[in-house]
Structure 1
Amino acid sequence: MPASTPPTQAGADGAATASLPSFYSPRTAAADTNAPNEVSNLSLQNDTQPQTNTSQPPKSALAHLAEPALPSLVSPAFTPPVTPGTFTPVSSGDGTQEGSPREREPRGVPVDSSVDSGGCGTKRPRLLETLPHVECIVRARIPTVNGTQMFLHLYTNNVDNKEHLAIVFGEHIRSKSLDAPRPGETERDRMTRGAYTGVLFPGRTESGMLAGTPTSSTEVPAPTQAPLVRVHSECYTGETVWSARCDCGEQLDEAARLMALPSNKTGGIIIYLRQEGRGIGLGEKLKAYNLQDLGSDTVEANLLLRHPADARSYGLATAMLADLGQPAIRLLTNNPDKIRAVEGPNREVVVKERVPMVPLSWRGEGGFRSREVDGYLSTKIQKMGHLLDSGTLL
């Protein structure tokens, strides 16, 4: 368990909050709707501009976003307090300011899966002959407690009955299937399912889309560099019930932190696949936990339950990235073998760089440590070929 929090801590209004259990801590800063990321992403126009462009509201239309900050919420103590990304100025010595090392763009390692020496691992995963069919059925803006905003995309598909997600940082990243017009729908219908440009506001009547193409002149142009992408598999225990058996929650936090940094101009995508327990499901995963308590490691436990060591598939991730218009990406992972799996049967998505995943706890900047997670990471290195260099500072 992470270290206990102090008995009291000042809340958003300066008053001391009540004592909380050891695994909770008050949020370190109230939501700030005037944070740089929030304002720049909203692309607001001033009141003197014509009101005919319904993709952009007058300032008064966003008055409800400027209400006083809500009381501090609580979150697991091991969640990095700067997730998603924030900016802490550090003097560079020449009178200018720059972000601290952990607040700069992470460095990637160039990879090429077309050659054996391309840094993409030794495995040749079995891939589907064709990618699954996916469709984004709704998109919504998610303002976060740290002021950054992202867009949550919900996908359906033709291979399972699960709803998979894409968490998108950057307005220039759009879904082809979502933006495509649908027979008989109204402008209100389009805005309701998230096929709009700019920002929604009370009284808006037009989506800013025409025949599936953005028509607003204020749309953010796409950068030339590939976006940072994390393909993350669901982990209820590590993300929701504070399990110290794995570091999945920390890795999800770190991915969001890096993609929301002001220094990241390329945007980012977290593909959140609903394949719990490396694909074996929550029930079997809990059985595997019991086998681990009886002495097995994570790989042995899966095998004893007659499951593969890793039953995950990444065809849906490839199809979702293609739908989001990303033919080239920088993949945030420590697993070089994942690169070929994410690229797809015909390299529909090409991984240009592998960016190491180094959560804050590995750098001694927060996070948690436990006997269980140490064993989990050791198994990843020794049996699954992951590259976990806790001393790497990006």
Structure 2
Amino acid sequence: MTPDPGEKTSGKTTEAGKSWHQETVHLPSFYSPRSRPVQDTETTRHEEREEFSLSSVARPLSRTLEAPTATLSSIANSDAALPPPSLLSPAFTPPATPGTTTPRSEPPRSVPVDSSIPSGGCGTKKPRLLETLPEVQCIVRARIPTTGGTEMFLHLYTNNVDQKEHLAIVFGSHIRSTSLDAPREGETEMDRMVRGAYTGRLYPGRTQSGMIGPAAPAAPADADASDTTGQSGPPLVRIHSECYTGETAWSARCDCGEQLDEAARLMSLPSEENGGIIIYLRQEGRGIGLGEKLKAYNLQDLGSDTVEANLLLRHPADARSYGLATAMLLDLGHKEVRLLTNNPEKIRAVEGPNREVRVTERVAMVPLSWKGKGGFRSREVEGYLKTKIEKMGHMLDMGGFS
């Protein structure tokens, strides 16, 4: 049957060497073209159900906004794509713990980028950059075990441009802060350990940091982790701006909480041997603050989209700055990173005024519900994502659906 002109097709091949067959998938107009798989994969019944789930949810977004209940009818025949639980349902839980968002283990797909050339995959916008990078200092680091079994190191930073405490969530003990590890006048070995400037692991009775002075005594075999894990490439990095409503108050107006959880899950995968860094910047509401953000929500209920609401409140559509993120990445010892983002403007902004940091690859952050792999859907978040793509130039790689 000949597909309609407004439809796109995708192909798939099996390990048995079968030729590509065409599958019709309705895609919103703001999607980027679907990527062809790098290598053949075995077609299983489970994968076929996931593909069917994709075709049922990836349709023109305007139809979703006009008739949100159509989603349920369109997937009624698929046992792999269930409707999201209600906020009142016992099945609904707060934002997930890092490492537990979804049980999948495949590594994220990445696209090479180069901001030095116009066709480098970084969009056409030139963000306003600071002339010089801020000065940052990591003042404390602590190990955080999670209920999902993974561990991360939380780094708290101060700086010379605002009074906020920004954070770096680090996966991998080999990623260390230069400013934290530097000796400080008059401090003892216990002082160093208390602020997190130590090697290996802390344990009851330890007296040396292992970084200056006499070597630390041997720790129990199951309590000492090496800080010298080898790296073969740049780490996966997510620059994440604080979102109280999406991360703490279970808001379905945005996908910020889901993005934070998914970033932590990806960085916890065994395949991410180079580690991962989530730079958590305290710039709520794209930089306008929580109070103004709540006013913007009311304007959205009155008919404005997220960009129009900010402008009506006399704020920029996006007032965020990323100079602090650049400085924090440099302090953590990384001048090349793989950036987990859909925003091409963020690539240039994070690299700094003189490309102090280079983004070598972009990893798309595709909503889980659009891939038929969990997540949530709501009318508000669909409109929010549509606005980011159509008005703010965000990109999604359809290859993430394979």
Matched residues in 1 for 2:96 and 2:292: separation? 30
Asked if the contact 1:362–1:390 (Cα under 8 Å) also holds between the matched residues in 2, the reply is no
Matched residues in 2 for 1:180 and 1:250: separation? 35
SS in 2 for 1:103: coil
Asked if the contact 1:134–1:319 (Cα under 8 Å) also holds between the matched residues in 2, the reply is yes
SS in 1 for 2:254: coil
Matched residues in 2 for 1:222 and 1:314: separation? 28
2:354 is the alignment partner of 1:355? no
Structure 2, unpaired ranges of 5+: 1-82, 219-224
Identical columns (%): 75
Asked if the contact 2:101–2:261 (Cα under 8 Å) also holds between the matched residues in 1, the reply is no
2:11 is the alignment partner of 1:3? no
The change in CA–CA distance for 1:269 and 1:119 in structure 2 (over 3 A counts) is same
2:99 is the alignment partner of 1:84? yes
The change in CA–CA distance for 1:23 and 1:352 in structure 2 (over 3 A counts) is farther
Give the aligned partner of residue 384 of structure 1.
392
Matched residues in 2 for 1:304 and 1:220: separation? 51
SS in 1 for 2:401: coil
- Give how far 1:259 is off: 0.1
The change in CA–CA distance for 1:4 and 1:295 in structure 2 (over 3 A counts) is closer
Asked if the contact 1:85–1:261 (Cα under 8 Å) also holds between the matched residues in 2, the reply is no
Matched residues in 2 for 1:241 and 1:145: separation? 20
Give the aligned partner of residue 140 of structure 1.
142
- Give how far 1:193 is off: 0.1
Matched residues in 2 for 1:290 and 1:348: separation? 40
Matched residues in 2 for 1:171 and 1:218: separation? 7
Choose the corresponding residue for 2:131, options 122, 129, 132: 129
Asked if the contact 2:142–2:154 (Cα under 8 Å) also holds between the matched residues in 1, the reply is yes
Matched residues in 2 for 1:307 and 1:370: separation? 26
- Give how far 1:124 is off: 1.0
Q: Deviations over 1:320-378 (max 9, x none)?
A: 00000001000000011110000001111100000111232221121110000000000
The change in CA–CA distance for 1:338 and 1:86 in structure 2 (over 3 A counts) is closer
Matched residues in 1 for 2:382 and 2:90: separation? 19
Matched residues in 1 for 2:102 and 2:302: separation? 45
- Give how far 1:221 is off: 3.0
SS in 2 for 1:195: coil
Give the aligned partner of residue 267 of structure 1.
275
Matched residues in 1 for 2:101 and 2:249: separation? 26
SS in 1 for 2:263: helix
Choose the corresponding residue for 2:303, options 295, 300, 317: 295
Asked if the contact 1:85–1:148 (Cα under 8 Å) also holds between the matched residues in 2, the reply is no
2:192 is the alignment partner of 1:184? no
Give the aligned partner of residue 326 of structure 1.
334
Matched residues in 2 for 1:238 and 1:108: separation? 26
Matched residues in 1 for 2:306 and 2:86: separation? 28
Asked if the contact 2:137–2:179 (Cα under 8 Å) also holds between the matched residues in 1, the reply is yes
Give the aligned partner of residue 338 of structure 1.
346
Counterpart of 1:111, as a letter, is V
2:105 is the alignment partner of 1:103? yes
- Give how far 1:84 is off: 1.1
Counterpart of 1:22, as a letter, is S
Question: Matches of residues 158-197 of structure 1 in structure 2 within 5 Å?
Answer: 158-197=160-199
- Give how far 1:128 is off: 1.0
Choose the corresponding residue for 1:277, options 261, 270, 285: 285
- Equivalenced residue count is 313
Matched residues in 2 for 1:318 and 1:214: separation? 33
Choose the corresponding residue for 1:22, options 89, 114, 127: 89
Counterpart of 1:3, as a letter, is P
Matched residues in 2 for 1:205 and 1:390: separation? 53
2:267 is the alignment partner of 1:241? no
The change in CA–CA distance for 1:135 and 1:188 in structure 2 (over 3 A counts) is same
Q: Deviations over 1:126-180 (max 9, x none)?
A: 1111100000000000000011000000000000000000000001100000000
Counterpart of 1:176, as a letter, is T
Asked if the contact 1:85–1:262 (Cα under 8 Å) also holds between the matched residues in 2, the reply is no
- Give how far 1:312 is off: 0.3
SS in 2 for 1:209: coil
Matched residues in 1 for 2:314 and 2:121: separation? 31
Asked if the contact 2:102–2:374 (Cα under 8 Å) also holds between the matched residues in 1, the reply is no
Counterpart of 2:242, as a letter, is E
Give the aligned partner of residue 200 of structure 1.
202
Asked if the contact 1:80–1:360 (Cα under 8 Å) also holds between the matched residues in 2, the reply is no
TM-score (norm 1): 0.75
Counterpart of 2:296, as a letter, is A
SS in 2 for 1:109: strand
Matched residues in 2 for 1:181 and 1:119: separation? 41
Matched residues in 1 for 2:244 and 2:172: separation? 27
SS in 1 for 2:349: helix
Asked if the contact 1:166–1:269 (Cα under 8 Å) also holds between the matched residues in 2, the reply is yes
SS in 2 for 1:226: coil
SS in 1 for 2:344: coil
**Could you say what the CA RMSD is over the residues aligned between the two structures, in angstroms?**
2.3
The change in CA–CA distance for 1:359 and 1:199 in structure 2 (over 3 A counts) is farther
- Give how far 1:86 is off: 9.1
Asked if the contact 1:87–1:261 (Cα under 8 Å) also holds between the matched residues in 2, the reply is no
Counterpart of 2:85, as a letter, is A
Matched residues in 1 for 2:200 and 2:125: separation? 43
